[in-house]
Structure 1
Amino acid sequence: MTAVRQDAWSPEDDLILAEVTLRHIREGGTQLGAFEEVGERISRTPAACGFRWNSCVRKRYEEAIQLAKQQRQKRNYLKKQTAVASHVSAVAEHDVRPSRTEDSAFGEDTIAIEAVIRYLKQWKSTYSDLQRQISRLEKELKLRDDELSGLRELNHKLSSDANHAQLDYQSVNDDYKMLIQIMDRARRMTVLNEEEEARPRFKMDASGNLERIE
């Protein structure tokens, strides 16, 4: 029977580590804060919790981590929108706040309107900057697409040229082999002819004797 270490992590410890860490990620906290909280709950050091998270537990919760990050982004976005709405509401409230005199009321109304105008102009400027950035990025993307298309065409052309060169090389190689065979046959025929000419020839005379023909 295998002995269990006293400091071994139990499934419950891993679950607590995962839940707390994901909550900190989702709420915009730090992992160090999560490890400190887990350490207090299960009587371990933050370093031990961090090592356990990075070496083992994190791999099992990759999808949950991505979801927590998305929720954090959405949470931050909603906070920002709430802040903007609060600012606009404060401006509007200041606009309708009662005054002691008509002159002061007129002055406060003017200041509120100017504040709203400044605020809207700032957002308009920010929006224009974003539009310019988007336009610039779209142009860069089109250039990259055109460059990629050109590289693909060049690659196709080079591949075609390489195939043609391979075929030409094969054809030249075949022609060379055939030429070597023809030259070899011609050489053998020349040797045979020379041997044939070097053999002595004889003819029979009227007496039936053989005489050599020079």
Structure 2
Amino acid sequence: MLTLDPGSIESFINQLATADSGPNSFNPFDGSVPDNALRRVNLEKYLQKMAERKPKVLLLGEAPGYRGMRITGIPFMDRRMLFGQGSNYFGLFGPDEGYAAPADLPSVMYEPTAAVMWRTLTDLDFLPLLWSAYPFHPHKPGNALSNRTPTAANSTAGQLHWQALVELFSIQAIIAVGNIAHRSLLLSGRSAPKVRHPAHGGNVKFKEGLEELLAGGIND
């Protein structure tokens, strides 16, 4: 049985808050940046709510985007969905859950990949723990409001954090969402199934891949 205490989650977030994101990346949990305090609070609320639901599967994505986790502090979550505009997604989010959106970035409301992710999970009635192979926002040089593909070095640096979540939540199975996440898993010595990343028109194959894995009992 999963047993988590708030201190364990707090320790994980403190680990993120002191991590070096490296060049052309931004750590949305960096303790030296005042506005990041709200992102740490948001992430703590999300992880505590997930601990109550005892997920068996970790769905490992690529990296935060500037319209999603970079703003909210929660994997695959944009400002619009955070406050329950349209759905509260398994009762995790909504205007009464105590989340906040820092005001240090433009009020971008919509992250397409996040929308596909949560719509698909809702359709499949499947609630895994969500995280990224590289949990910091990789951006193009000189343009913080952009996204770039994480490097192999980024993927290696991110292993420490997703491995900590696997242990913390007693995760039984991991699904890689796209090639970046799959590479991170392989570099760590783990083998795991891979599904298509939902971005760039991959939403149908993403859902089909999850359906196949669920039919095979990965969440049982």
- Bin of the TM-score, shorter chain as denominator length: under 0.3
In terms of fraction of residues, the more strand-rich structure is: 2
TM-score, with normalisation over the residues of structure 2? 0.18
More helix by share: 1
Higher alpha-carbon Rg: 1
Which structure ranks higher in relative contact order (CA pairs < 8 Å, sequence separation ≥ 6)?
2
